[in-house]
Amino acid sequence: MTDCIFCKIGAGEIPAKFVYEDEDIVAFPDIQPQRPVHILVIPRRHIVSLAEATPSDEALMGRMLGVANRIATSQGSTDGFRVIINTGPIGGQEVMHLHMHIVGGPDPVGPMLKRV
Ligand code: AMP
Ligand code: ZN
């Protein structure tokens, strides 16, 4: 997709420091880290969101989870981590290209959500 920042990162048109890359997937630090470890895992191919993914994307998304696990450990979140996929307006998704946030570090990430 021409106007998508994460497509451009995946294509190497916008610089990002890849901590992982293969033919289909890249991972790089979030530009505004919320935790000591905060990495984004994205498919190079444009998928708008988890809500728009189809069964044909499921193998790729499974691989992204495996990558997320290995990166979390290698990036220093050795005793667990959290994977977040913000989806659509209710989920607070700002970049409309599917991505997984891996957040962690030496200390617990904390409560998942504030109580309503
Ligand atoms: P979300 O709210 O799940 O759509 O989060 C999008 C994330 O992308 C935010 O945490 C941003 O800080 C991050 N982000 C936006 N642009 C870049 C960029 N060029 N490089 C790295 N992370 C980015
Ligand atoms: Zn895209």
Give strand pairing partners of 83.
102
Give the residue carrying structure tokens 């992204």: 64
The pTM for the full model equals 0.96
95 lines ligand 1 (CB under 6 A): yes
Cβ contacts of 38 within 8 Å, gap of 6 or more: 29, 30, 101, 102, 103
Q: What is the mean pLDDT of residues 56-67?
A: 98
pLDDT at 1: 74
How far does the centroid of ligand 2 lie from the alpha carbon of residue 80, in Å? Answer: 29
For residue 41, give the 3-state DSSP assignment. Answer: strand
Percent of all residues in the chain with a pLDDT value above 70, rounded to a whole number? 100
- Nearest protein Cα to ligand 1, atom 15: 31
CATH classification of 5-104 is 3.10.270.10, yes or no?
A: no
The residue ranges of every structural domain in the chain are 5-104
Reply yes or no on whether 97 is catalytic. Answer: no
Confidence of residue 63 (pLDDT cuts 50, 70, 90): very high
Percent of all residues in the chain with a pLDDT value above 90, rounded to a whole number? 94
How are strands ordered across the β-sheet holding 82-84?
Answer: 20-21, 25-29, 37-43, 100-104, 82-84
